[in-house]
Structure 1
Amino acid sequence: TYLTRIGGHLVISRFENIHPRVEAGLNAVPAAVLTTLVAPAALGGGPAEWAALIVAGLVSLRGGLMAIFLAGAAVLVLARQFVG
């Protein structure tokens, strides 16, 4: 696991200049990974998941990534507790 995490850094560190398109693609990776984790649960989920998705979407208009995560997780936990 450690080698896969450090491998990308080792490859990229060998280059003095990174093409802007490559850098833009690498910057998009975290959002793509988060989408692959959230989308199946949200689309296949019930009212609790949809409520969390809506709240996270609203928080994303003003808040940072941590605020989005915390708001969505809090709504999901509370909705599952009270809605079922």
Structure 2
Amino acid sequence: MFLSIEKRMVNFIDDVVDNSDAAAITTAIIVMGHSLNMHIIAEGVETRQQLDFLHSNNCYHVQGYLFSRPLPAEEVTALLLEQAVGQT
């Protein structure tokens, strides 16, 4: 089962670094998802600070412009292969 913090909530992700209310709401959603044994996926991650916040709150599945712009399916394989080669 997955819980996705997605586009409807991207403004929470946008503000987690500077807005304590957004940080509290995002943290509560992550905790709630974990308590229900859900995998948490955060969308809209654009900065290293947002990523650090999510990681510090045990949210390790993320996507957003920090990693890549949206890609057509045929470009995803090439990107993943390039990243795999870079990690070896």
Task: Tell whether the structures are fold-level matches, with TM greater than 0.5.
Answer: no
TM-score, length of structure 1 as denominator length: 0.29
Q: With CA pairs under 8 Å and 6+ residues apart, which has the higher RCO, 1 or 2?
A: 2
Structure ranking higher in strand proportion: 2
Q: Which has the larger radius of gyration?
A: 1
